[in-house]
Amino acid sequence: MAVGERRVAAEPRLGIRRESRSSWSRRGFLLVVLPLLAAVLTGVAVLAVSGNVLLPFQTVVTLEGKMASKRDFFEDEEVQRILMRHHIRVHITASGSREVAIRDISSYDFVFPSGQPAGDLITAERAKSNQYAKVHRPFVSPIVLATYREYARTLEDAGVAKAHRGTGPVADQPPYYVLDMAGFLRHIHDKRRWDDIGIERHGIANANRIVAQTPDVCGSNSAGTYLALVAFTWHGDGDEVPDTDQEADARGREIKHLLEQGLPAADVFRTYVSPEGKNIAPVVVAYEHQYLAYQLNYKARSKKLDEQRVLLYPSGQFVTQPQFIALNKDGDRLGELITHDPELRKRAMELGFRILDPTGQVAGDQLTRFLEERGVPAPATEGDDTRTAMPRLRYLERMISVVGDCPPADVLPGRP
């Protein structure tokens, strides 16, 4: 028994309705339903492609993370899309890596300091108070100096930089140079200015002292790592690193003048890639992945390389190892994903990181092959084989405090 028929009998007003319902023909029905159906199907198709089909039935977890330059990874749209398929959304708070390490992180699900020293600070602190901390090491990236062609050439003229061998079709515009760190620091020590070493021959006037800009050494891992590199190079005695507090303090005082740059700016790499970069951030300390991601992006947009911006690889390399530290189970799920999920690993490589294989070794030529496919010259990895030793955390911390005049981080005497 149709509901409608009974209504017809009950209320004359419904006659009108019946009339309207009579126009509710099969054709009319289809006219309404088909577009709706099409919309639903399209939607389903879209969701299927993006992997979000089951999304409405599963809750998306928003994870809070705090990190420095590794936010480039989580801010990438493709990474966000892949994570969404795993029902994870990530919300980032930007901060220097050392800053991450010395502040309260209890409200976060994970932190992602750019290097081991900051990571060690955190795991030590967590262990001390018996709190959850699980470390994942998905990829590494060397510390480099990003600069402009004229500056690299000027350093080349001064005998402290050399273009990388075998950079192929771009041999006259090499994107990579090896920087003789000891020679570079000698110029800084001698208070040379860019004008003094002949930058005018390359069409630039700059009376500023030679220096590589870093973010605040009190807060940033790249600055701290660069400091360790400077200390190691300047000391110049094989692989010696400080072993006592007094030695560390003395080293800090020895190199303070090599890192003088006035009030440091944040986010120096982003300033470097801006149109004003050549004026306001001509030489900055950065990670290789930042530069590679920039060039890949530039190439994709304009079909050519940015030949103005080049990298200096310091002799005596420091590979920095970002540490993903899960602070709870949810964070750990994310850590597992970025370390093991093939799609995320591939994407990390596309963002210029050197991904690690499960044994913790750099997964060799994958990045090289990928860069070559995209027409971006691959940085030669052979370079200078000087291994630069990182001082133990406690002593690095002391040097940072001396150089940056910053509040010391709490490192137990017994800790490495």
Distance of alpha carbon 79 from alpha carbon 136, whole angstroms:
17
Rounded to a whole number of angstroms, the minimum distance from the CB of residue 4 to another protein is 7
Among 87, 134, 193, 299, binds another protein (CB under 8 A): 193
Residue 198 as a binder of another protein (CB under 8 A): the answer is: no
Residue 12 as a binder of another protein (CB under 8 A): the answer is: no
Among 40, 127, 300, 412, binds another protein (CB under 8 A): 40
Residue 328 as a binder of another protein (CB under 8 A): the answer is: no
Residue 209 as a binder of another protein (CB under 8 A): the answer is: yes
Draw the binding track, 162-191, toward another protein (x: CB under 8 A; -: no contact). -----------------------------x
CA distances for 216 relative to 77, 213, 405, angstroms: 28, 9, 11
Give the DSSP letter of residue 259. G
Residue 39 as a binder of another protein (CB under 8 A): the answer is: yes
The partner residues of 92 in beta bridges, in order of sequence, read 65
Residue 274 as a binder of another protein (CB under 8 A): the answer is: yes
Tokens, residue 285? 């300390």
Among 14, 182, 211, 363, binds another protein (CB under 8 A): 211
DSSP 40-80: HHHHHHHHHHHT-TTGGGSPPEEEEEEESTTHHHHT-HHHH
Alpha helix stretches (DSSP H) within 103-148:
116-128
Residue 69 as a binder of another protein (CB under 8 A): the answer is: no
Angle at 167 between CA 281 and CA 114, to 5 degrees: 45
Residue 48 as a binder of another protein (CB under 8 A): the answer is: no
Looking up tokens 């700016």 gives: 265
324-326 and 134-136: which strand pairing? antiparallel
The region of 151-159, 201-209, 307-315, 326-334 touching another protein under the rule CB under 8 A is 201-209
Rounded to a whole number of angstroms, the minimum distance from the CB of residue 362 to another protein is 30
Among 23, 130, 207, 359, binds another protein (CB under 8 A): 207
Residue 55 as a binder of another protein (CB under 8 A): the answer is: yes
Residue 1, exposed/middle/buried by CB under 10 A (0-12, 13-18, 19+)?
Answer: exposed
Residues 19-38 that bind another protein (CB under 8 A): 21, 24, 26, 29, 32-33, 36-37
Among 17, 18, 103, 340, binds another protein (CB under 8 A): 103
Decide if 185 contacts 357 (C-beta within 8 A): no
Residue 18 as a binder of another protein (CB under 8 A): the answer is: no
**Closer to another protein by Cβ: residue 103 or 329:** 103
Phi, psi of 179 (to 5 degrees): -105, 125
Other beta carbons less than 10 A from residue 20's beta carbon: 10
Distance of alpha carbon 97 from alpha carbon 68, whole angstroms:
5
Beta strands, E only, 185-277:
none
Among 52, 173, 368, 381, binds another protein (CB under 8 A): 52
**Closer to another protein by Cβ: residue 246 or 274:** 274
Residue 273 as a binder of another protein (CB under 8 A): the answer is: yes
Residue 75 as a binder of another protein (CB under 8 A): the answer is: no
Among 97, 116, 141, 206, binds another protein (CB under 8 A): 206
**Closer to another protein by Cβ: residue 10 or 207:** 207
Draw the binding track, 242-261, toward another protein (x: CB under 8 A; -: no contact). ------------------xx
How many residues touch another protein under the rule CB under 8 A: the total is 52
Measuring CA to CA, which residue among 196, 115, 197, 127 is closest to residue 160? 197
337's torsion region: left (phi>0), alpha (psi -120 to 50) or beta? alpha
Residue 94 as a binder of another protein (CB under 8 A): the answer is: yes
The region of 235-243, 245-253, 274-282, 309-317 touching another protein under the rule CB under 8 A is 274-282
Q: What 3-state DSSP class applies to 410?
A: coil
Q: Which residues contact 284 (CB under 8 A, 6 or more apart)?
A: 145, 146, 147, 212, 213, 214, 268, 269, 271, 272
Residue 16 as a binder of another protein (CB under 8 A): the answer is: no
139-148 and 283-287: which strand pairing? antiparallel
Residue 46 as a binder of another protein (CB under 8 A): the answer is: yes
Give the largest Cα separation in the chain, rounded: 105
Q: Which residues are at the interface with another protein (CB under 8 A)?
A: 2, 4, 21, 24, 26, 29, 32-33, 36-37, 39-40, 43-44, 46-47, 52-53, 55-56, 93-95, 99, 103, 191, 193, 205-209, 211, 219, 260-267, 270, 273-276, 278-281, 407
